[in-house]
Structure 1
């Protein structure tokens, strides 16, 4: 499967109570031709990752309404779209929405670490769409097992195509889902809801990143 075929297949994925950012438009926030813009963003990142190779794939649970629903890129809000563009050089990634750029707490923590890793990382979700609750489309819910199993072939293709040194599961839900799919992963705590310190500590351990000592100087984990 080529990146174009991957994205075409992904654009055809449909479930009740979900938003597919590669095929659907949000009447409140999306710009004209938003699905095409998000497909192009993903295509650029996929092709760059395949060409350059990746050290790791970081996998979270599913797209959030403040992040990937708007950008088409996992763990990436509009505040960090330019940072994602620079992850593989200088990709021409484009916003697909109108109005002020939106930020997401999880994306902020993830990109804080990515700036320090200095290795090519591909970002993905166990379920690659935005599942929302009964309270409305601007909410988040956990995907269900049927949704996960129906979309597992995307993750299988990414692991086979990109051949990462390691897969990182961000959060217990992602770790459990990857285990259900028989994908071995290094588990880190999700940075939201008080988990940012533990998330940063585990990422420092995995990537031997510098940590501040008590005086504010930097020491390197070994």
Structure 2
């Protein structure tokens, strides 16, 4: 029987070259300190505790450096959690929660806005706005990635790269654990690439357009059709 502690323990056990595990690792170049993975793990635990009766699993391809790398939550930027986002309420993610940032505002790797407000990822904004519009984000939807860790380019931690097939093989096993933790969720793939990958592993899913590269309106319309209501 899968429980949240076991699931997080299994996530924390993963290590691989050119992959950052936000619940295990600490990057001196841009993290606030060795406590950063502890904070991110606590965020993920709280996130899952609030969603034990979720009906939908929205799943993209891999964790990004502007999102889950620092927040510890897939498709969720730390700017949202810090309450510094203009469009997304922080309480929709973790309820009443004392969030501590994990990116270092003194790091030379951050630009001025990131130092002041934390990292932000445009895709995260579109996804959370769409879910909040339907009143589902706080309890009915879990956001995840097929490869739940952050794959980065060599010698550049704050970059994103496409996960390899062996990485996806590993990642799908974590997705199956999540489905055991919260069973009977309807799986919604964010983007055709994610859908094709899930189907290759014989995991049934519904696909919605990815919000990036001009797809925000199509994503909102597809979510509205799926969940009911207006885009």
Tell me the TM-score normalized by structure 1: 0.87
Aligned partner (choices 14, 36, 39) of residue 37 of structure 1: 39
Q: Shift in Å at residue 168 of structure 1?
A: 0.8
Name the structure 1 match of 2:226.
206
Q: Deviations over 1:142-183 (max 9, x none)?
A: 111111112322211222221244111001221122112221
- Deviating above 6 A after TM superposition, structure 1's stretches of 4 or more consecutive aligned residues are none
Q: Give the unaligned 5+ runs of structure 1.
A: 212-222
Cα distance between partner residues in 2 of 1:39 and 1:97: 14
Moved more, 200-209 or 82-91: 82-91
* 1:113 aligns to 2:130 (yes or no): yes
Q: Deviations over 1:54-85 (max 9, x none)?
A: 12111011110111111110000012225464
* 1:15 aligns to 2:16 (yes or no): yes
Moved more, 134-143 or 32-41: 134-143
Name the structure 2 match of 1:71.
71
> Is the contact between residue 191 and residue 198 of structure 1 (CA under 8 Å) also seen in structure 2?
yes
Q: Deviations over 1:160-210 (max 9, x none)?
A: 221244111001221122112221111011111111121111111111122
> Is the contact between residue 15 and residue 147 of structure 1 (CA under 8 Å) also seen in structure 2?
no
Q: Give the unaligned 5+ runs of structure 2.
A: 84-88, 106-115
Distance 1:170 1:122, change over 3 A: same
Distance 1:164 1:87, change over 3 A: farther
Tell me the TM-score normalized by structure 2: 0.84
Q: How does 1:108-147 map to 2 (within 5 A)?
A: 108-119=125-136, 120-134=140-154, 136-147=156-167
